Amino acid sequence: MSGVVASDLLSYAGYTLEAGLLVYLVVRGYARPLWELAFYLGMSLGVAGARTFTLARYGLTSPQYGNCYWTTDLLLVLAAFVLVASFFRRACSHNQEMWHFVRLLLGTVLIAITIVSYFSLSNHHGKFFSFFIVEFSQNLYFASLVLTTLLYLMTLKMDIADERLGMLVCGLGIEFAGPAAGLALIYLSGGAEISHVIGVYFFPLCDIGMILTWFYAISRVPGPANAPRRVVDGTPAFARGNISHF
Protein backbone atom coordinates (compact mmCIF):
# COMPACT_ATOMS: atom_id res chain seq x y z
CA MET A 1 0.00 0.00 0.00
CA SER A 2 1.45 3.32 -0.99
CA GLY A 3 1.98 6.04 1.57
CA VAL A 4 -0.56 8.32 -0.05
CA VAL A 5 -3.31 5.69 0.07
CA ALA A 6 -2.45 4.79 3.66
CA SER A 7 -2.44 8.45 4.64
CA ASP A 8 -5.82 8.98 2.98
CA LEU A 9 -7.28 5.92 4.67
CA LEU A 10 -6.06 7.02 8.09
CA SER A 11 -7.29 10.56 7.47
CA TYR A 12 -10.77 9.37 6.55
CA ALA A 13 -10.76 7.00 9.52
CA GLY A 14 -9.99 9.99 11.76
CA TYR A 15 -12.81 12.06 10.26
CA THR A 16 -15.25 9.15 10.60
CA LEU A 17 -14.34 8.55 14.23
CA GLU A 18 -14.64 12.24 15.06
CA ALA A 19 -18.06 12.41 13.44
CA GLY A 20 -19.10 9.19 15.19
CA LEU A 21 -18.04 10.51 18.58
CA LEU A 22 -19.85 13.80 18.01
CA VAL A 23 -23.04 11.93 17.05
CA TYR A 24 -22.63 9.71 20.10
CA LEU A 25 -22.30 12.76 22.35
CA VAL A 26 -25.45 14.33 20.92
CA VAL A 27 -27.57 11.15 20.84
CA ARG A 28 -26.65 10.01 24.35
CA GLY A 29 -27.14 13.45 25.86
CA TYR A 30 -23.47 14.11 26.67
CA ALA A 31 -23.24 17.16 24.41
CA ARG A 32 -24.34 19.56 27.15
CA PRO A 33 -22.33 18.25 30.12
CA LEU A 34 -19.28 17.67 27.92
CA TRP A 35 -19.79 20.81 25.82
CA GLU A 36 -16.07 21.36 25.36
CA LEU A 37 -15.63 18.02 23.62
CA ALA A 38 -18.59 18.73 21.34
CA PHE A 39 -17.16 22.18 20.60
CA TYR A 40 -13.73 20.80 19.77
CA LEU A 41 -15.07 17.96 17.63
CA GLY A 42 -17.44 20.32 15.81
CA MET A 43 -14.58 22.72 15.17
CA SER A 44 -12.33 19.89 13.99
CA LEU A 45 -14.97 18.56 11.60
CA GLY A 46 -15.71 22.04 10.28
CA VAL A 47 -12.01 22.60 9.70
CA ALA A 48 -11.72 19.20 8.01
CA GLY A 49 -14.64 20.06 5.73
CA ALA A 50 -13.10 23.39 4.75
CA ARG A 51 -9.71 21.78 4.15
CA THR A 52 -11.17 18.91 2.13
CA PHE A 53 -13.12 21.31 -0.04
CA THR A 54 -10.08 23.51 -0.63
CA LEU A 55 -7.85 20.51 -1.25
CA ALA A 56 -10.23 19.03 -3.82
CA ARG A 57 -10.75 22.36 -5.56
CA TYR A 58 -7.22 23.81 -5.60
CA GLY A 59 -4.79 20.97 -4.89
CA LEU A 60 -2.23 20.18 -2.22
CA THR A 61 0.45 22.63 -3.30
CA SER A 62 -1.84 25.53 -4.06
CA PRO A 63 -1.56 28.74 -2.04
CA GLN A 64 -5.28 28.56 -1.38
CA TYR A 65 -4.87 25.27 0.45
CA GLY A 66 -1.91 26.73 2.33
CA ASN A 67 -3.98 29.73 3.37
CA CYS A 68 -6.89 27.57 4.39
CA TYR A 69 -4.74 25.03 6.24
CA TRP A 70 -2.71 27.44 8.38
CA THR A 71 -5.62 29.75 9.11
CA THR A 72 -7.82 26.87 10.21
CA ASP A 73 -4.90 25.40 12.15
CA LEU A 74 -4.88 28.56 14.24
CA LEU A 75 -8.59 28.10 14.97
CA LEU A 76 -7.99 24.46 15.88
CA VAL A 77 -5.13 25.24 18.25
CA LEU A 78 -7.21 27.94 19.92
CA ALA A 79 -10.06 25.43 20.29
CA ALA A 80 -7.61 22.96 21.84
CA PHE A 81 -6.46 25.65 24.28
CA VAL A 82 -10.09 26.27 25.25
CA LEU A 83 -10.43 22.51 25.76
CA VAL A 84 -7.39 22.40 28.05
CA ALA A 85 -8.75 25.40 29.99
CA SER A 86 -12.13 23.73 30.42
CA PHE A 87 -10.44 20.56 31.69
CA PHE A 88 -8.59 22.70 34.23
CA ARG A 89 -11.98 24.18 35.18
CA ARG A 90 -13.37 20.70 35.78
CA ALA A 91 -10.34 19.69 37.80
CA CYS A 92 -10.80 22.76 40.01
CA SER A 93 -14.57 22.44 40.30
CA HIS A 94 -14.34 21.83 44.05
CA ASN A 95 -11.70 24.44 44.68
CA GLN A 96 -12.66 27.88 43.47
CA GLU A 97 -9.56 29.51 44.89
CA MET A 98 -7.38 27.14 42.87
CA TRP A 99 -9.40 27.87 39.73
CA HIS A 100 -8.86 31.60 40.33
CA PHE A 101 -5.10 31.13 40.08
CA VAL A 102 -5.29 28.60 37.23
CA ARG A 103 -7.38 31.08 35.25
CA LEU A 104 -4.74 33.71 35.85
CA LEU A 105 -2.05 31.24 34.78
CA LEU A 106 -3.84 30.40 31.53
CA GLY A 107 -4.41 34.04 30.67
CA THR A 108 -0.80 34.92 31.39
CA VAL A 109 0.41 32.03 29.24
CA LEU A 110 -1.77 33.12 26.33
CA ILE A 111 -0.57 36.72 26.53
CA ALA A 112 3.07 35.64 26.91
CA ILE A 113 2.82 33.30 23.92
CA THR A 114 1.42 36.16 21.85
CA ILE A 115 4.28 38.46 22.88
CA VAL A 116 6.95 35.79 22.29
CA SER A 117 5.51 34.97 18.87
CA TYR A 118 5.51 38.64 17.93
CA PHE A 119 9.13 39.18 18.95
CA SER A 120 10.27 35.95 17.29
CA LEU A 121 9.27 37.46 13.94
CA SER A 122 12.48 39.55 14.14
CA ASN A 123 13.20 40.63 10.57
CA HIS A 124 10.02 39.22 9.06
CA HIS A 125 7.71 42.04 10.05
CA GLY A 126 6.84 42.57 6.40
CA LYS A 127 5.08 39.19 6.44
CA PHE A 128 3.49 39.68 9.80
CA PHE A 129 0.24 37.87 9.09
CA SER A 130 1.69 34.71 7.57
CA PHE A 131 4.61 34.22 9.95
CA PHE A 132 2.73 35.27 13.04
CA ILE A 133 -0.02 32.70 12.46
CA VAL A 134 2.45 29.83 12.16
CA GLU A 135 4.63 31.04 15.04
CA PHE A 136 1.67 31.61 17.31
CA SER A 137 0.03 28.29 16.40
CA GLN A 138 3.22 26.32 16.98
CA ASN A 139 4.05 28.05 20.26
CA LEU A 140 0.50 27.64 21.52
CA TYR A 141 0.58 23.98 20.51
CA PHE A 142 3.63 23.36 22.68
CA ALA A 143 2.20 25.48 25.50
CA SER A 144 -0.94 23.34 25.40
CA LEU A 145 1.27 20.26 25.52
CA VAL A 146 3.05 21.52 28.64
CA LEU A 147 -0.27 22.59 30.21
CA THR A 148 -1.79 19.17 29.51
CA THR A 149 1.15 17.56 31.31
CA LEU A 150 0.63 19.92 34.25
CA LEU A 151 -3.09 19.12 34.24
CA TYR A 152 -2.43 15.39 34.32
CA LEU A 153 0.01 15.80 37.21
CA MET A 154 -2.56 17.95 38.94
CA THR A 155 -5.27 15.30 38.60
CA LEU A 156 -2.89 12.76 40.12
CA LYS A 157 -1.72 15.04 42.92
CA MET A 158 -5.16 16.28 43.92
CA ASP A 159 -6.63 12.76 43.79
CA ILE A 160 -9.65 13.96 41.82
CA ALA A 161 -12.55 11.52 41.94
CA ASP A 162 -13.52 12.17 38.30
CA GLU A 163 -11.85 9.22 36.56
CA ARG A 164 -13.40 10.24 33.25
CA LEU A 165 -11.53 13.54 33.37
CA GLY A 166 -8.25 11.66 33.79
CA MET A 167 -8.97 9.56 30.71
CA LEU A 168 -10.01 12.60 28.68
CA VAL A 169 -6.76 14.32 29.64
CA CYS A 170 -4.86 11.17 28.62
CA GLY A 171 -6.52 11.31 25.20
CA LEU A 172 -5.55 14.93 24.80
CA GLY A 173 -2.02 14.02 25.81
CA ILE A 174 -1.85 11.48 23.00
CA GLU A 175 -2.90 14.15 20.52
CA PHE A 176 -0.34 16.66 21.75
CA ALA A 177 2.61 14.59 22.89
CA GLY A 178 2.50 11.95 20.14
CA PRO A 179 3.31 14.26 17.21
CA ALA A 180 5.86 16.16 19.33
CA ALA A 181 7.63 12.89 20.13
CA GLY A 182 7.46 11.84 16.49
CA LEU A 183 8.92 15.11 15.35
CA ALA A 184 11.69 14.83 17.94
CA LEU A 185 12.46 11.35 16.60
CA ILE A 186 12.61 12.71 13.06
CA TYR A 187 14.94 15.46 14.20
CA LEU A 188 17.19 13.05 16.10
CA SER A 189 17.34 10.44 13.37
CA GLY A 190 17.62 12.95 10.55
CA GLY A 191 16.47 10.36 8.04
CA ALA A 192 13.81 10.61 5.39
CA GLU A 193 12.62 7.02 5.81
CA ILE A 194 11.56 7.32 9.41
CA SER A 195 9.99 10.70 8.73
CA HIS A 196 7.96 9.04 5.98
CA VAL A 197 6.75 6.31 8.34
CA ILE A 198 5.99 8.77 11.12
CA GLY A 199 4.32 11.25 8.81
CA VAL A 200 2.13 8.75 7.04
CA TYR A 201 1.21 6.42 9.88
CA PHE A 202 2.09 7.84 13.28
CA PHE A 203 0.61 11.36 13.12
CA PRO A 204 -2.87 10.28 11.95
CA LEU A 205 -2.77 7.41 14.44
CA CYS A 206 -2.28 9.92 17.27
CA ASP A 207 -5.52 11.60 16.25
CA ILE A 208 -7.30 8.24 16.07
CA GLY A 209 -5.81 7.27 19.45
CA MET A 210 -7.22 10.41 21.04
CA ILE A 211 -10.71 9.82 19.64
CA LEU A 212 -10.73 6.16 20.74
CA THR A 213 -9.52 7.12 24.22
CA TRP A 214 -12.28 9.71 24.48
CA PHE A 215 -14.80 7.16 23.21
CA TYR A 216 -13.74 4.74 25.92
CA ALA A 217 -13.74 7.47 28.58
CA ILE A 218 -17.27 8.60 27.75
CA SER A 219 -18.85 5.20 27.19
CA ARG A 220 -17.11 3.09 29.83
CA VAL A 221 -15.61 5.27 32.54
CA PRO A 222 -18.11 6.66 35.06
CA GLY A 223 -18.34 10.42 35.30
CA PRO A 224 -18.36 12.44 38.53
CA ALA A 225 -22.14 12.00 38.93
CA ASN A 226 -22.02 8.21 38.54
CA ALA A 227 -18.75 7.55 40.28
CA PRO A 228 -19.07 5.45 43.44
CA ARG A 229 -18.70 7.62 46.49
CA ARG A 230 -15.88 6.80 48.80
CA VAL A 231 -17.04 5.61 52.19
CA VAL A 232 -15.49 7.88 54.76
CA ASP A 233 -15.35 6.36 58.16
CA GLY A 234 -15.43 9.12 60.72
CA THR A 235 -14.51 6.82 63.55
CA PRO A 236 -10.85 6.70 64.48
CA ALA A 237 -9.27 3.32 63.83
CA PHE A 238 -8.21 2.86 67.43
CA ALA A 239 -11.83 3.26 68.62
CA ARG A 240 -13.56 0.93 66.17
CA GLY A 241 -13.18 -2.09 68.36
CA ASN A 242 -15.19 -0.47 71.11
CA ILE A 243 -18.20 0.40 68.98
CA SER A 244 -21.26 -1.77 69.38
CA HIS A 245 -23.18 -2.41 66.14
CA PHE A 246 -26.39 -3.26 67.98
131-160: contacts with other proteins (CB under 8 A): 131, 133-134, 137-139, 141-143, 145-147, 150
Give the residue, chosen from 26, 167, 183, 221, that forms a contact with other proteins under the rule CB under 8 A: 183
**Are 81 and 114 a contacting pair, CB within 8 Å?**
no
> Interface with other proteins includes 66 (CB under 8 A)?
yes
Q: Which stretch of DSSP H or E encloses residue 27?
A: helix 3-27
Taking Cα atoms as reference points, which of 143, 144, 209 lies closest to residue 170? Answer: 209
Least separation in angstroms between residue 90's CB and other proteins is 19
Nearer to other proteins, 73 or 163 (CB): 73
**Are 25 and 41 a contacting pair, CB within 8 Å?**
yes
Q: How far apart are CA 92 and CA 18, in angstroms?
A: 27
Segment 20 to 39, residues that bind other proteins, using CB under 8 A: none
Q: Which amino acid, residue 243?
A: I
Least separation in angstroms between residue 13's CB and other proteins is 8
Taking Cα atoms as reference points, which of 105, 81, 83, 228 lies closest to residue 165? Answer: 83
Least separation in angstroms between residue 204's CB and other proteins is 5
> Interface with other proteins includes 108 (CB under 8 A)?
yes
* Binding-residue total with other proteins (CB under 8 A): 72
> Interface with other proteins includes 71 (CB under 8 A)?
yes
